[in-house]
Amino acid sequence: MIRAHMATSLDGFVAGANQTLEKPFGDHTEHFNDWLWELAAVRKTFGKTGGDTGPSNDVFLDRTANIGAFVMGRNMFGGGPGPWAKEPRWDGWWGENPPYHAPVFVLTHYPRDPQPMEGGTTFHFVTDGIESALAKARAAAKDKDVVVAGGAQAVGQALRAGALDMLELHLIPQIVGAGARLLDGIPPAILQQDRVVPANGVTHLRYRIRRV
């Protein structure tokens, strides 16, 4: 299964206007992940104990289980536009041991050799588009799932390619007004409401996508 899970505002934005290196999610998005940080399962990934074990924690555990590979857009991986610099080398936002622990296929226009990291993450750089990246990820994931990690453009490309089987929106009770909309220019589709989890400051809406 190929799936995506995105925090989105009520007006459909997954990032606000004016994205910068210091504020990668743009204006008015500073509370988008408030529901996440104090979850027990998230604290555990940072080596911390305790935390919230409510419904959002179950959603996070489900979302992070059974993943064999990721696909990611260049903007989400970061390092700025254009060819890859040799020095200083950009290996993503997540330090030496990124939280993926699986192959990550990064969409880019610029070739680069695979970059193995600690903890099982290897960044592969794919220059021939979303369908190729998804095929490579599916092959690497074997019988596990592929997650399109973001951003809006990468998930939108997967949706437009008819490749996404499941979409989960973590709906944030906020109007952002401008930025990157997740569902923009997506062809009409009927989805199946799979699971709705109301939680503290967020509603988790999971849909299965019927390929027409």
Largest Cα–Cα distance of the chain, in whole Å? 47
- Which residues ranging from 186 to 205 are in contact with a copy of itself (CB under 8 A)? 186-193, 196, 198, 201-203, 205
Smallest distance, Å, CB 174 to a copy of itself?
5
Peptide bond into 16 cis (omega under 30): no
Closest CB to a copy of itself among 102 and 167? 167
Phi-psi label, residue 70: left if phi above 0, alpha if psi -120 to 50, beta otherwise: beta
Say if residues 126 and 105 touch (Cβ distance below 8 Å).
yes
Smallest distance, Å, CB 199 to a copy of itself?
9
DSSP state of 1: -
- Which residues ranging from 131 to 190 are in contact with a copy of itself (CB under 8 A)? 169, 171, 173-177, 183-190
Encoding tokens for residue 27? Answer: 């204006």
Closest CB to a copy of itself among 161 and 186? 186
Closest CB to a copy of itself among 65 and 190? 190
Smallest distance, Å, CB 152 to a copy of itself?
12
# binding residues, a copy of itself (CB under 8 A): 31
Q: Is there binding between residue 211 and a copy of itself (CB under 8 A)?
A: no
Report in angstroms the alpha-carbon separations of 32 from 93, 104, 109: 18, 23, 29
Q: Is there binding between residue 212 and a copy of itself (CB under 8 A)?
A: no
Q: What residues contact residue 186 under an 8 Å CB cut-off, 6+ apart?
A: 156, 159, 160
Among 28, 63, 124, 138, binds a copy of itself (CB under 8 A): 28
Say if residues 21 and 40 touch (Cβ distance below 8 Å).
no
Smallest distance, Å, CB 61 to a copy of itself?
20
Say if residues 25 and 32 touch (Cβ distance below 8 Å).
yes
Return residues touching a copy of itself (CB under 8 A).
10-12, 27-28, 31, 169, 171, 173-177, 183-193, 196, 198, 201-203, 205, 207
